[in-house]
Copies of this chain bind each other. A is one copy, B any other.
Amino acid sequence: MSESRPRVQLTRGVPPVESFPIAQLAECAAAVLHEYGDVVLQYAPVRGFAPLRALLAREAGVDDDRVIVGQGSLQLQDFCARYLLGTGSVVYVEEPSYDRALTIIRRAGGQLVGFPLEEDGPDIDAVEARLESGERPKYFYVIPDFQNPSGAVLSLEKRQRLATLARAYEFWIVEDVPYRRLRYRGEEYPTLFELAPDRVIQMSSYSKLVSPGMRVGYVIAPASLAGPLAKMAEDTYIGPSYLNQAIIYEYIRRGWLEPNIARLCELYEPRLGATLSALEQHLADLATWQRPDGGFFVGVTLRFEVSADELLERARAANLILTDGRGFFPGCDVENFVRIPFCALTPEEINEGVVRLAEVLRGLVQAV
């Protein structure tokens, strides 16, 4: 039966093609090549296209020097990890967390310590206990808004506690906020950067707000770290592509970013709604999940133990392609987690995906 149904892809968190403002970006590309062609086609200072940095610095209330715009934010994280970590350096993370970030930390020699995600963010009592026992992490990697992969939002109280702990125990917080602006309902909390600008390295990008293919991400770093991170970037790629950064700047300058974000929220909200409804309807007895007000993901935790290999295999047989949930856990040892990225699918496709997931899970439960 499985082969006949169309494939449903619940893998990476990519925006749908229909979300890209292609014509506007083409206009911006032409404009910047005409206006700044000599600048964007040349080698250029490594911290990035100055007008875009100035705009981000103004928004954050920091000196321009503290803003580094690079080729996607993941690589800027790689610079942080390579600069801050040595073999065995402890890094705190939410559990689950963004699989690519975990890989980067491991590759730099970091030793991951995970803190289970609750509905309102990681277990801060557990964090405090480890700090009190004497452990000193180099940093805590957190995605406070619509976390990848769970969808969780860090509560105001936990934000405040985390900021206080970072100051008291002198560790950095690497705050990754690519989904923050994609809030479909409800009120936002202050960022960790706003609460503790002296201890927070904030990362974000335009991948989810304009286009991932542009590869424009940025970091706002404490003054003591911006210089070493810029040096790390220069020693790695000399300078970033100013063309891409200038296109993004032009897009913002023309006033197109805010309407685009509004358009994306309108596009994605029904997809989130469809995900939550389908889960409620088909998975209530099989799993629990977060109920985010935005972002790209709903993380689903099964109420029973499974073999991830078997789950992936059975899903594939039903033409349902899942990401291996183990990758989101520091120890790669949790098998009963499924991430549902809902933005790139229509409500109908989402419903079909959840129906098929429920069918696969019921098969697994019966097999136990």
Contacts and interface: CB of A to CB of B under 8 A. Distances in A.
Interface of A: 12, 14-15, 17, 20, 22, 25-26, 29-30, 33-34, 37-44, 71-72, 74-75, 78, 100, 103-104, 107, 207, 211-215, 235-244
Given A41-B213, A238-B100, A26 B17 contact: no
A100 B41 contact: no
Contacts of A244: 241, 243-244
Instruction: List the 7 closest A-B pairs by CB distance, nearest first.
Output: A22-B37, A26-B33, A41-B211, A41-B213, A215-B241, A29-B29, A20-B41
- A interface, by DSSP: helix, strand, loop or mixed? helix
Given A12-B43, A20-B37, 19 more contacts: A17-B41, A17-B42, A20-B41, A26-B29, A26-B33, A29-B29, A29-B33, A41-B211, A43-B207, A71-B237, A71-B240, A75-B236, A104-B235, A212-B238, A213-B241, A213-B242, A214-B241, A241-B244, A244-B244
Contacts of A71: 71, 215, 237, 240-241
Contacts of A240: 71, 215
Counting every copy of the chain, the complex holds 2
Contacts of A33: 22, 25-26, 29
Nearest to A21: B41
A41 B235 CA distance: 27
A129 to B, nearest CB: 32
A249 to B, nearest CB: 14
Contacts of A211: 41-42
Given A241-B71, A243-B213, A38 B17 contact: yes
Nearest to A234: B100
Contacts of A214: 41, 241, 243
A29 B30 CA distance: 7
Contacts of A72: 237-238
A235 B20 contact: no
Nearest to A103: B235
A30 B240 CA distance: 21
A74 B235 CA distance: 9
Contacts of A78: 236-237
Given A29-B30, A235-B100, A20 B38 contact: yes
A25 B42 contact: no
Contacts of A75: 236-237
A58 to B, nearest CB: 25
Contacts of A239: 212-213, 215
7 contacts: A14-B42, A22-B37, A22-B38, A25-B41, A42-B213, A43-B207, A78-B237
